[in-house]
Amino acid sequence: MKKTFAAIFCLISVTSAFAESGQFEVLSGGSVSVVSNDFGSSNFSITNVRYTNRVISSNLSFFGVGTINTSQCLGTLSSENSKTTGGGTCLGTDTDGDKWRLNYTRTDSTGQTVFGVAELIGLTGKFANAKGAATMNKKDWY
């Protein structure tokens, strides 16, 4: 079964970089495509998320306020007994073409709560030496 729907996300991330550390907050909107296999009391899904981000708060030079970038995330979700776990990877690109990767793992998620960890890894340009981690909790996703 394939389901496609639009989603709006508000994501608060914390990152640190070579000789710089800080926080940034983005407002995101885009689409989510989910392909699910239902196994009765459990469900396994493959997700493809495409969205545009606008930085609304930041104290990092490489994520300036007003900066716009795009991301695509591929991941999996497994639900069993009302508990959801999963993970995936996102590729982000800013308007200059500079790229970063975000790896995430969702653990112990139920209903409207999401818990897990995310790791940002800079790939090119201004993000080349950026590295950092964030803890996700309910307010980060809903």
pLDDT at 1: 39
pLDDT digits (tens, 9 = 90+) for 113-139: 678 898 989 999 998 988 888 887 765
Q: Which residue has the higher pLDDT, 20 or 76?
A: 76
At residue 111 the predicted structure's pLDDT band, cuts being 50, 70 and 90, is low
Q: What angle do CA 42, 105, 72 make, to 5 degrees?
A: 100
Long-range contacts of 43-46 (CB under 8 A, 24+ apart): 43/77, 43/78, 43/79, 43/80, 44/76, 44/77, 44/78, 44/79, 45/76, 45/77, 45/78, 45/79, 45/86, 46/74, 46/75, 46/76
Give the domain ranges of the chain: 2-141
Name the pTM for this structure.
0.74
At residue 60 the predicted structure's pLDDT band, cuts being 50, 70 and 90, is confident
Distances (CA, A) of 84 to 14, 30, 107, 136: 23, 22, 7, 14
pLDDT at 90: 94
